Amino acid sequence: LGRLLTAVGRHDQAVAVLNQAPVPRAAMPRPGEIYWILQRGKANEASGNTAEAIRAYRFVTVIWHQADESLQPMVREARRRLQALFP
């Protein structure tokens, strides 16, 4: 739902949906949790909440800096988005 709301430009509603899930506390979160955090970052970025977007993108890049190659596209996307926020 959060992803769909973001896609149609309803960013504040997307943030509300995506912020419902807590940040994972496990040493190695599951892929679905990291995907959720990445989506949370995108929604926050689109709604103008840069600090929360940065927090989400950093979480993805730090927790998965050595993830399997199949998961690296999410890490690369988070890095690109961080770089775009810090030109």
In angstroms, the CA 8 to CA 78 distance is 21
Band the pLDDT of 84: cuts 50, 70, 90: very high
Q: What is the mean pLDDT of residues 30-55?
A: 90
Residue range 26-47: mean pLDDT, rounded: 85
Model confidence at 31: pLDDT above 90:
no
pTM of the model: 0.85
For residue 8, give both structure tokens: 């149609």
CA 15 – CA 64 distance, rounded (Å): 23
pLDDT at 38 over 70: yes
At residue 22, φ and ψ (nearest 5 deg) are -70, 160
Instruction: Return the DSSP state at 28.
Output: S
Chain-wide mean pLDDT for the chain? 87
Tokens read off for 28: 């190695």
